[in-house]
Amino acid sequence: MSDFLELVKSRRSVRAFGGRAIRRADLELCVEAARYAPSACNSQAWKFIVIDDAEKKQQVAEKAFSGLYGMNAFAREAAAFIAVISEKLKFPAWAGGKLRNTDFRRIDIGIACEHIALQARELGIGTCILGWFDERRLKKIFRVPRGKKIELVIAMGYPAQPKLPEKYLKDKGEVVSFNGYR
């Protein structure tokens, strides 16, 4: 098996983090991987806020994952976060998305987040992509302008346990077909 497929297969959402800090240089590698992600018309309609400052992290931990969002309370122990904000698409990507009834920004951001997760995995850093967080309070902390949306937050940290969690996968035959829908 290729090294790449090994890497992909060994990535898991990590929900228990050890206390070790992540080096700034490694966080930079992760966002560098994101910057190279493909995007509709190469719009790169994204911004990445990397949160590694202790005080800011504390604010995120307290505000983003409590109350209704307590399901993700594990993320409070993360060593760093990356918040991903959607920006304006290039016109053809925006217009094409309208015609196709799809928002290419979200697709692009999903791909970019996976680049981050895989680069992090390669560095031994665990990630969990989070769609469930208190966006209103996070926007306040980072002074994200009112019209903008924080699409996803990635919690990052060294896994507390070395063992990979089991992963349930649908059968190949259920999700893959060649030359026609099945």
Ligand X SMILES: Cc1cc2nc3c(=O)[nH]c(=O)nc-3n(C[C@H](O)[C@H](O)[C@H](O)COP(=O)(O)O)c2cc1C
Least CB distance to ligand X at residue 77 (A): 13
**φ, ψ (nearest 5 deg) of residue 136:** -60, -45
- Asked whether position 76 contacts ligand X by CB under 6 A, the answer is no
Least CB distance to ligand X at residue 11 (A): 7
- In the beta sheet, which residues pair with residue 81? 51, 155
- Asked whether position 130 contacts ligand X by CB under 6 A, the answer is yes
Task: Sort 133 into a burial class: Cβ within 10 Å, 0-12 / 13-18 / 19+.
Answer: buried
Q: Which of 22, 27, 89, 128 is the binder for ligand X (CB under 6 A)?
A: 128
18 vs 131 by CB, closer to ligand X: 131
Of 160, 148, 29, nearest to 82 by C-alpha is: 29
* SS3 assignment, position 117: helix
Q: Which of 8, 12, 29, 77 is the binder for ligand X (CB under 6 A)?
A: 12
Least CB distance to ligand X at residue 71 (A): 7
* SS3 assignment, position 126: strand
- Asked whether position 131 contacts ligand X by CB under 6 A, the answer is yes
Q: Which of 7, 9, 10, 13 is the binder for ligand X (CB under 6 A)?
A: 13
CB 40 within 8 A of CB 147: no
Report the C-alpha gap between 15 and 165 in whole angstroms.
10
Please report, as a single letter, which amino acid is at residue 158.
Answer: Y
- Asked whether position 161 contacts ligand X by CB under 6 A, the answer is no
Which residues would be at the binding site for ligand X (CB under 6 A)? 12-13, 15, 72, 128-132, 152, 167
